[in-house]
Amino acid sequence: MSADIVTANEIRQRFASAMSDMYQAEVPQYGALLTLVAEVNRDTLAADPALAARLEASGELSRLDVERHGAIRVGTAEELATLRRLFAVMGMFPVGYYDLSEAGVPVHSTAFRPIDESALSHNPFRLFTSLLRLDLIEDAELRDLASDILSQRDIFTPGVRELIAIHEAEGGLTDAQADRFVAEALETFRWHHDATVDRATYDRLHAAHRLIADVVCFRGPHINHLTPRTLDIDEAQRRMPAHGMTPKAVIEGPPRRQVPILLRQTSFKALEETTHFLGADQGAHTARFGEIEQRGIALTPKGRALYDRLLAESREATKGLDNEAHQRRLAEVFADFPDDDSVLRREGLAYFHYRAVAELDDGAGLEQWIAAGKVVADPLTYEDFLPVSAAGIFQSNLGGEASAVTQGNANREAFELALGASVIDELDQYARRERASLAALGVDA
């Protein structure tokens, strides 16, 4: 490797920043969303110095301002497999398998993201990436039409393909190559006002499912949202109207907690954008929207099972309620979920990162060190997504229309075959990081 090789972290940082600039130019409301989240975060930190101190000590504060996730949707195995190689250049790997067919959305997904502690704290940029499942379209003729259209496009520039190959052969990119890579990669995710099909074809695909039209009828997988991380999503939801945004009806995910868990999300509805079809017809396409997230502690399999059970239990109880009533009911149902760090830790419901803040005496053990204030257990932040929430986000943007799509059959093998690799198990990653922090203190777990 030559001396001026740029790290994957640095390339990801440049790419995330370029993507954010591009999306801000494409969707001005995204700029308003960033302003709103920055304001809420500033006010939250000012009102809660203990939170500010904890985030600072655990290395979370520095990443907060650059933290984003985005989402894209692709149509073919070749597209997905090439994305995997493209994201590897930036130290982003496929973590988790999400089956959205359960919710009537004909895709399955993974999240490309960094996995190591230091990479996450450098810049945790992640992309929720969905692959269209043509196998779930019931109409065979329509299925063939869609795959025919998809086979005619190349969503990657020749330049990015060349730089991916250089990265694979050389193990890295030089500074100038990294800049070129970022510029070329960005082209894949750009919005195109022009559809690649005529109006009638668009309408047919749209009638089967709006998402099919979104994936099939354009030159590439336009980034459909970029999501900043807030420290207080309830406050962000309250302030959205004053910033010119209409929030979706309810915040997805768990209720507000003393110790935030997993992920809470809200969004504003997708914009109707003028689209030019082949043959000069004009119409509108709705794809791109805005979203805000609040991240909490990662749950162990035991904690996650409890979360899934309570969420399922709350489903009937919260049906049709407005956000305020929904959150109240949800909080009642979640009263059964412990809301105290030390209980979450001792009951093995959540993952922590342990660090020594004083000299550790031999003889005492972890619990004594924690009780004596010599070891601090910081919550490990949840870095992933939630399928039920993702379905809620998809649906609030797709409208609730009935669709000609088969529901509920996960096919992880087919996804991994298309990806050309296995997806990484997200729970293993939290467990590994927790164990490594214990091993650094000389505790085996």
Contact footprint for ligand OOG (CB under 6 A): 71, 73, 128, 130, 224, 265, 291, 385, 389-390, 393-394
Contact by Cβ (8 Å): 197, 278: yes
Contact by Cβ (8 Å): 270, 290: no
Minimum separation from the CB atom of position 278 to ligand OOG (A) = 25
Contact by Cβ (8 Å): 89, 173: yes
Give whichever of 137 and 398 is closer to ligand OOG, judged by the CB atom: 398
- Structure tokens that stand for 53 in this block: 């101190």
Give whichever of 128 and 181 is closer to ligand OOG, judged by the CB atom: 128
Give whichever of 129 and 314 is closer to ligand OOG, judged by the CB atom: 129
Helix/strand/coil (H, E, C) string of 24-64?
Answer: HHHCHHHHHHHHHHHHHHHHHHHHCHHHHHHHHHCCCHHHH
Q: Which does 383 bind (CB under 5 to 8 A by kind): Ni ion, ligand OOG, none?
A: none
Minimum separation from the CB atom of position 287 to ligand OOG (A) = 9
CA distances from 305 to 134, 299, 300, 430 (A): 31, 9, 8, 16
Minimum separation from the CB atom of position 236 to ligand OOG (A) = 15
Q: Which does 201 bind (CB under 5 to 8 A by kind): ligand OOG, Ni ion, none?
A: none
For residue 428, give the amino acid letter: D
Contact by Cβ (8 Å): 156, 132: no
Give whichever of 106 and 338 is closer to ligand OOG, judged by the CB atom: 106
Q: Which does 79 bind (CB under 5 to 8 A by kind): Ni ion, ligand OOG, none?
A: none
CA distances from 143 to 42, 215, 216, 312 (A): 49, 13, 11, 33
Give whichever of 196 and 397 is closer to Ni ion, judged by the CB atom: 397
Q: Which does 385 bind (CB under 5 to 8 A by kind): ligand OOG, Ni ion, none?
A: ligand OOG
Q: Which does 61 bind (CB under 5 to 8 A by kind): ligand OOG, Ni ion, none?
A: none
Burial 156-184 (b: 16+ CB within 10 A, else e): bbeebeebbebbeeeebbbeebbebbbbb
Minimum separation from the CB atom of position 264 to Ni ion (A) = 12
Instruction: Give the CB-nearest residue to Ni ion.
Output: 291
Instruction: Provide the total of helices (H) and of strands (E) in the chain, helices listed first.
Output: 19, 14
Q: How far apart are CA 354 and CA 333, in angstroms?
A: 30
Instruction: Give the CB-nearest residue to ligand OOG.
Output: 390
Site for Ni ion in 219-278 (CB under 5 A): 227
Give whichever of 71 and 423 is closer to ligand OOG, judged by the CB atom: 71
Give whichever of 8 and 226 is closer to ligand OOG, judged by the CB atom: 226
Residues binding Ni ion (CB under 5 A): 227, 291
